[in-house]
Amino acid sequence: MERRKLSEEGIEIMIDFLKLWKIYQLIGVGDKAVIPVVVQDVATKEVLMLGYVNARALIYALKNKVATFWSTSRNELWVKGLTSGNTLELIEVRINCEQNSLLYLVRPVEKCGACHTKDKNGEYRKSCFYRNIDVSTNCLEFVNQNERRSKMRYRRKFRRRLIWWELLQARQQGLKSRDGKWYRRKKDTPWERMEYDEISGWVPATQATSPRAVNSRLM
C-alpha cells in the first residue's frame, strides 16, 4: 500500500512497464482476454482515464449505456460508478484501425470525477492524467498548481522511504554491500552486481528496466 501511495501521489517516476505482462499472468487468454479502452469527455475532449475491456464488459456497456470495464486487479466486471457514484454515461464507442483498442466517449454524471484518487480537498480527480513529466528535473509535476509541492523536500522524504524498502529487500535476499553497491554471489559463480529496479525489485544490474536504474547505468 505504501508503494502504491507513492506511485499515485508522489512526483518520483515509477512507470510500470510490466502492466500488460501482469494482466496476461492474471487473466490469460480466452473469453476474459482484454484490450485497452481510452475514456474521453465527449464535451470537453479531455482524456479521463484508461481501462481494459473484454467482450462481456463491452456488451454490458453498449446495452446499459454506461462506461464498463474488466478490472485487471480483481479480475471481475467493473461498472464505473457502481460503488463510488462516479458514473460515466456512455455516448459513443469508437474502435481503432486494427480493432485492438477502443475509445469511450462519455458524459460524466453530475460533474463527477473519473479517477479513483482524490485531491487534497478530498474530491475525486476529474482525470487520471493529473501529472506530467518535467524533463528538466526528471520528476512528475501536478497539472493543478494547487497540488504542486516542493520537489526537494518531497524527494528527500521519498528517498528515505525507498532506501528503507531497498535495504529490507536486500537483506531478505542475502545481498552484500561493497563500496556503496550491492552484490550477489551464487554457488561457484563470481560476484554479480545487483540494481534495485522499482518495477521488479533487486535484479542483475544489466537487467534493470526502470527509469532510475537505466539512468544509473548511463551516468
More confident residue, 174 or 199: 174
**Beta strands of 9-146 (E only): which ranges?**
35-41, 47-53, 68-71, 76-79, 88-95, 102-108, 131-134, 139-142
pTM score over 0.85 = no
How far apart, in whole angstroms, are the C-alpha atoms of residue 41 and residue 127? 10
CATH number corresponding to 2-133: 3.10.20.810
Compute the half-sphere exposure of residue 120: CA atoms within 13 Å on the CB side of its CA.
9
Query: Which residue, 107, 117, 110, is CA-closest to 7?
Result: 117
- List pLDDT tens digits, range 41-84: 999 999 999 999 999 999 999 999 999 999 988 889 999 988 88
How far apart, in whole angstroms, are the C-alpha atoms of residue 169 and residue 209? 18
